[in-house]
Structure 1
Amino acid sequence: MIIGNGILANALIPYDRDDIIFFASGVSNSLETRNSEFEREITLLQTTLEKNANKKLVYFSTCSIYDSSKTQSPYVLHKLNIESKIVQDFENFAIFRIGNAIGKGGNPNTLINFLKNSIESRTKIWVHKNAGRSIIGVNDIALFINLHLNSINKKIINLSYPHQFAPIDIVFSLEKYLGRKACYEIINEGDFYDIEFEKLIYDYFENISATKYLDKTIALYI
């Protein structure tokens, strides 16, 4: 069963199973601060688990947990709270900490949608020179989980392309496929953060370079 109706939930439809709870619903805006939104996700998750105690839970968290600039953000604290106090108390679970998910449509506040909309509207972007961003296409999320879910039990997996992209490279790729120039200024801010990946992740992406993956993913969804 799939809980949710966003880009990730839609990507999971071909792999839907009666014995799995794919919890792809919840707070989608990483800048969210309203407690009511966090409580809504908690209530939905708890209600779902109470009704499906015999199933395996797949919960989607975030790689932003590793970003030192976001460790005290309400969104990150909310995700860590759910991981430790709800999901890991469930009988059978798998937690996937996701990078910036890229898909068609979806939340306008995601990194790629924000940059895309800014370029299309000629809105000025401030690009962090020293930052790194992890990305992954939603179809890769769904396919990887389908391939490996049976072997991932009571475990946390970081799921993203195993390379951090400079924001300016993401802007350049978007310019290429949108056919227009971005209005931006590079500022000396941001930092890269370490994410540890399982061998399964490296194996999944072994045949595609970072540059090709970025361009392929942007081209596919934009």
Structure 2
Amino acid sequence: MIIGNGLIANAFRNFDKKDIVFFASGVSNSLETDEKQFLREENLIRKTIFENPNQLFVYFSTCSIYDSSKNASAYVNHKLAMEHIIATEAENYLIVRISNAVGKGGNKNTLINFLVNSIRGNKVIKTHIEASRNLIDVEDVVEIVLELIENQRFNQIVNVAYLSNYSILQIIQIIETFLQQKAELELLKAGQSYSIDIPDVQNYFRKNNLQDKENYLSGILKKYYQNFLS
């Protein structure tokens, strides 16, 4: 069973299983403050767990929990509260904290969508030069989660992210090379960076020869943004 219609939910469509709930219908906007949106997710989580007591409950949370600039936000507090509910009420669960997943479509305001559209539209990008982000191909998220399930890594929280972060400037430079177009930047001495510990998944990238950061992001762009070159 797949709950949700966004990037993560759609990535799991071909892997739907009767004995597993993939819950990807949560609040995704890290700036969200509307209590009604938080309550909607909470009610749906409780209802889904109650109605599917014998199924593995896979919940997609966020690595923003480790971001010191957001760890007091309503969004992060909500995600932590949902994790607690799942750990308390679900008989078998897997909580997956994901970094910035990149794939086909998705919210136009996600980082890569925003940067690609801004560069192509010759818009000035206010660039926080001290910021970094962890980017991961949504198809790698799927493969990693399926491996965790196969290995019965249940009743725990696992960080699913790439081996290391990219600086915002590095991301922009790789996109510039891909689009063959220079970005219009306003450089600001600002931004946050935080590390993500991934002991449970780092071997996935090594065994699939995905350690080269620049090649990894370039490959993601070629996979999902090739139509932007036409």
Partner of 1:131: 131
Partner of 1:147: 147
Query: Is 2:199 aligned against 1:193?
Result: no
What is the identity, as a one-letter code, of the residue corresponding to 1:221? Y
Q: 1:185 Cα shift?
A: 1.7
1:151-176 Cα deviation digits (max 9, x unpaired): 21111111011201001111112222
CA distance in 1, matches of 2:98, 2:16: 19
CA distance in 2, matches of 1:195, 1:5: 27
1:24-47 Cα deviation digits (max 9, x unpaired): 112121121211111111111111
Contact kept in structure 1, 2:161 and 2:196, CA below 8 Å: no
Give the 3-state SS of the residue equivalent to 2:50 in structure 1. helix
CA distance in 1, matches of 2:195, 2:137: 20
Q: 1:70 Cα shift?
A: 0.8
State the percentage of identical aligned residues. 45
CA distance in 2, matches of 1:189, 1:48: 41
1:130-189 Cα deviation digits (max 9, x unpaired): 222111111111111112213211111110112010011111122222332221122111
1:98-137 Cα deviation digits (max 9, x unpaired): 0001011111221112222222222221112122211111
Partner of 1:88: 87
Q: CA RMSD in A?
A: 1.3
Task: Trace 1:94-173 onto structure 2 (pairs within 5 A).
Answer: 94-150=94-150, 151-173=152-174
CA distance in 2, matches of 1:162, 1:169: 15
What is the identity, as a one-letter code, of the residue corresponding to 2:216? Y
Query: Is 2:216 aligned against 1:213?
Result: yes
Number of aligned positions between the proteins = 220
Larger displacement relative to structure 2 (140-149 or 111-120): 111-120
What is the identity, as a one-letter code, of the residue corresponding to 1:211? E
Identify unmatched segments of 5+ residues in structure 1: none
Identify unmatched segments of 5+ residues in structure 2: 226-230
Larger displacement relative to structure 2 (200-209 or 115-124): 115-124
Partner of 2:204: 204
CA distance in 2, matches of 1:191, 1:29: 18
Contact kept in structure 2, 1:28 and 1:107, CA below 8 Å: no
